[in-house]
Chains A and B, each alone.
Chain A
Amino acid sequence: MSVLVYTESWEGIFRKSTFEAVSYASETAKLLGTDVVAVSLGEVSDDELSKLGNFGATKVISIASVNKGDSQGTTNAIASLSADAPAIVFSNTYSAKMIAPRLSAKLNAGAISNVIEVASNTSPFTVKRKAFSTKAIEITTVSSEKAILSLAPNSFGLRETAGSCSIEKSDFSENGIITIEGQETASGKISISEAEIVVSGGRGLKGPENWGMIEELATLLGAATACSKPVADIGWRPHAEHVGQTGKAVAADLYIAIGISGAIQHLAGVNSSKVMVAINTDPEAPFFKAADYGIVGDAFEVVPKLIEEIKKIR
């Protein structure tokens, strides 16, 4: 009868989105008068597993030997634990986005993605979700007995509680039929999807040689760096940094747009951020309509001053 929650670790450390998903599962369990069981895939230490208790999990089932990149094996692993779960909660990671729809089809359980609030009703499950690239909020119900709920990034927050969880090891194992050849990750860099602050540059920066101040500002704030689509298309910055509709989605606490006019395609990918700052020479730039704070001015004068002023409060 417990609410099940998928958790995700990277190199043995849980992602922040995992704690958010466990927090959400815990609130959902309260509505149903039950508890939360977390599922962890891959090698994670007992110390790390026990952290899930701080967000409301009462038990964690750790499945160490599963090919995490293979969605068939991971789906089957979670399905094997789902029989009695009234709800299964996912974060929004790339892997979660592969597993949740598969699990929905496997269990005949209605799946709702981009969920932003705890259910307003649990019979049937009724939740609010983001749709139309955040231009609308949709209220959706699940008609099956079981509900699969995937959260929108950084939308629910963390809810710490004083709790602890028991740890159970499962030897579930399944060899997938796809092979993971390797992973390439930018070491020492903060990923755009997980960063609390993102500093992003556009064509207003005039050339790739001017990104030094963007990186300096990002380092100072512990932020990820990003760029607009034209900047990636002309090769000033790698495509992996492109944020906006066809690039990566950003849902940061703070998004700083420097020399970005704010085309609707760009805004569609970043306006889930909680606070947005625009710095642009053009007072008519559409970004000023979407931003919370703005400076009409030359990035080459404003950004160095911004760096100096931030250093003063650090």
Chain B
Amino acid sequence: MNIVVCISSVPDTTSKINFTDGGSKFDANGVQFVINPYDEFGLTRAMMLKEATGGKVTIITVGDATVEPIIRKALAIGADAAVRINMNATDSFSTATEISNYLKENPADLIITGRESIDYNGGAVGGMISEIMDLPFVNACIGLEIEGTAAKLSREIDGGKENISANLPFVIGGQKGLVQESELRIPNMRGIMQARSKPLEVIEPSSDASLTSSVSFEKPAEKGACKLVDAENVAELVNLLHNEAKII
């Protein structure tokens, strides 16, 4: 089975988010970048499927050379090969278009994306790839078992989950549940050494297919200070929620 996992390099959750150039650009200065957490659940599931049934796991990412540390990490976790499309990812549609161009030349049985990335939170690349490739799409995927070309999936729905059967190929938007947090893998020394000699193909983008553009960023308004209520006076909290916040 040929599995392609789309990964994104994102600021670690604990990063301070700042902007430069008059609020128009994300300030990467001093920021630690990681594999997007939602992508990591999918990458781990891909490794398990490969180990169970054989096949190849290729990771693909859109970005300039600064994203290579997370590519190496994914290879150290166990992916077999990597592709980097040499372009700054600024818009979901241009990102999805470039990945789809690669997939048209290099067909995959299973395409895994994350439900969303924790930087721009667009949540659109997986769905767009599935439309461009004319494939089924299961988003917020929390379960994936494959036997031959038949798959049993489950996805989160509002208020519960939905169980689905489908045949390969298809696209999923992964999240926790695909594997549990405790199953995520930390690269070991052997993996890190092997990653250095695994193939990393760099492809130039075909054209700019952007449909949206970012104008500027603002910081949300600062929250006022927390109103502390004495533990002996719980009635006051109820009073504030009832009469001030008017919420209960």
Does B139 lie within 8 Å of A94, measured CB to CB?
yes
- Cβ of A264 to closest chain B Cβ, rounded Å: 5
Cα distance, A100 to B220, chains bound together (Å): 26
Does B245 lie within 8 Å of A275, measured CB to CB?
yes
Given contacts A100-B127, A292-B224, contact A71 B137 (CB under 8 A): yes
Stretch at the interface among A40-48, A102-110, A158-166: A102-110
Does A253 lie within 8 Å of B93, measured CB to CB?
no
Q: Specify which chain B residues have a CB less than 8 angstroms from the CB of A186 in the assembled complex.
A: 159-160
For window 263-314 of chain A, which residues contact chain B by CB distance below 8 Å? Answer: 264-265, 268, 274-275, 277-278, 288-298, 301-302, 305-306, 309-310, 312-313
The 8 Å CB contact of A293, one of B155, B166, B180, B237, is B237
Q: Specify which chain A residues have a CB less than 8 angstroms from the CB of B163 in the assembled complex.
A: 180-184
Given contacts A132-B121, A137-B220, A306-B237, contact A70 B93 (CB under 8 A): no
Stretch at the interface among B76-84, B101-109, B128-136: B128-136
The yes or no answer to B3 lying at the interface (CB within 8 A) is no
Q: Specify which chain B residues have a CB less than 8 angstroms from the CB of A292 in the assembled complex.
A: 223-224, 226-227, 245
Q: Specify which chain B residues have a CB less than 8 angstroms from the CB of A268 in the assembled complex.
A: 13, 118
Q: Specify which chain A residues have a CB less than 8 angstroms from the CB of B224 in the assembled complex.
A: 292
Does A95 lie within 8 Å of B157, measured CB to CB?
yes
Given contacts A133-B118, A138-B214, A193-B158, contact A265 B13 (CB under 8 A): yes
Cα distance, A309 to B240, chains bound together (Å): 12
The yes or no answer to B190 lying at the interface (CB within 8 A) is no
Interface size class of A (residues with CB under 8 A): 35 or more
B67-105 near A? 1/0 per residue, CB < 8 Å: 000000000000000000000000011001000000000
Does A105 lie within 8 Å of B131, measured CB to CB?
yes
The 8 Å CB contact of A295, one of B167, B180, B228, is B228
The yes or no answer to A130 lying at the interface (CB within 8 A) is yes
Does B214 lie within 8 Å of A140, measured CB to CB?
yes
- Cβ of A222 to closest chain B Cβ, rounded Å: 10
Does A291 lie within 8 Å of B226, measured CB to CB?
yes
Does B226 lie within 8 Å of A293, measured CB to CB?
yes
Which residue of A is nearest B229, CB measured?
A295
Q: Specify which chain A residues have a CB less than 8 angstroms from the CB of B228 in the assembled complex.
A: 288, 293-296
The 8 Å CB contact of B247, one of A130, A194, A253, A305, is A253
The yes or no answer to B235 lying at the interface (CB within 8 A) is yes
The yes or no answer to A54 lying at the interface (CB within 8 A) is no
Given contacts A194-B158, A264-B13, contact A134 B96 (CB under 8 A): no
- Cβ of B30 to closest chain A Cβ, rounded Å: 15
Does B212 lie within 8 Å of A296, measured CB to CB?
no
Does A131 lie within 8 Å of B242, measured CB to CB?
no
Does B131 lie within 8 Å of A101, measured CB to CB?
yes
- Cβ of A187 to closest chain B Cβ, rounded Å: 9
Does A109 lie within 8 Å of B211, measured CB to CB?
yes
Given contacts A94-B158, A143-B213, A264-B13, contact A293 B240 (CB under 8 A): yes
A-B contact pairs, 29 of them (CB 8 A): A69-B155, A71-B136, A93-B158, A98-B137, A100-B127, A101-B124, A102-B130, A104-B92, A105-B128, A126-B215, A130-B121, A132-B118, A177-B136, A177-B166, A178-B136, A183-B163, A191-B159, A193-B158, A193-B159, A240-B161, A254-B248, A288-B226, A290-B223, A292-B227, A293-B227, A293-B237, A294-B228, A295-B228, A306-B234
Give 8 A-B pairs besides A105-B96, A110-B212, A265-B13 with Cβ atoms closer than 8 angstroms. A94-B157, A98-B139, A132-B121, A176-B136, A181-B165, A182-B162, A183-B161, A293-B229
> Which residues from chain A sit less than 8 Å from chain B, CB to CB?
10, 15, 69-72, 75, 93-95, 97-106, 108-114, 126, 128, 130-144, 176-186, 189, 191, 193-194, 197, 221, 229, 233, 239-240, 242, 245-247, 253-254, 264-265, 268, 274-275, 277-278, 288-298, 301-302, 305-306, 309-310, 312-313
In the A-B complex, the 3 residue pairs with the smallest Cβ-Cβ separation, listed nearest first, are: A297-B231, A101-B127, A185-B160
